Amino acid sequence: MSSPDLRRINKIEVPFVVVLGERPIKLRDILTWVPGSIVELSKEADEELEIRINNKTIGNGTAVKVGENFGVQVNYCGDPKQRIEAMGDNASASSSDEVDAEAMAAALLDGQL
């Protein structure tokens, strides 16, 4: 993969999600919600948060305050190959549109940006 291709790929935006917590909940409970309802999560306030790219977990971090906003301080983010693979959507990509994640990871690690 050539350097111009890598530069183009690096401009693609992907969904970045930080998971505060998850839990199963019955539909009937959701239907009773009103403004001010509280949904308890089974995660302690100081536990690490899950970081997802394209809905694939690539690391974890800690909630921080950045000015008036929330942010996440990355504590672990996997290796570059794992992060690059998370950016792809192999289930919906056709073979001509697929990016060779291994070649891309190798090129990034070799500094071929």
More confident residue, 1 or 27: 27
Domains defined along the chain, listed by start: 1-22+44-89+97-113 (2.30.330.10)
Residue pair 99/9 in contact by the 8 Å Cβ criterion: yes
* C-alpha pair distances (Å), 66 with each of 50, 63, 110: 18, 10, 33
What integer is the mean pLDDT of 86-113? 56
Condensed to tens digits (0 to 9), the pLDDT of residues 19-45 reads: 998 899 999 999 999 999 999 988 888
More confident residue, 25 or 84: 25
* Residue 7 C-beta-side C-alpha neighbours within 13 Å: 5
Mean pLDDT rounded to a whole number for the chain = 80
99 contact partners, CB below 8 Å, separation of at least 6: 1, 9, 88
- Tell me, what's the pLDDT at 14? 83
Residue 111 — left, alpha, or beta (φ > 0 → left; ψ -120 to 50 → alpha)? Answer: left
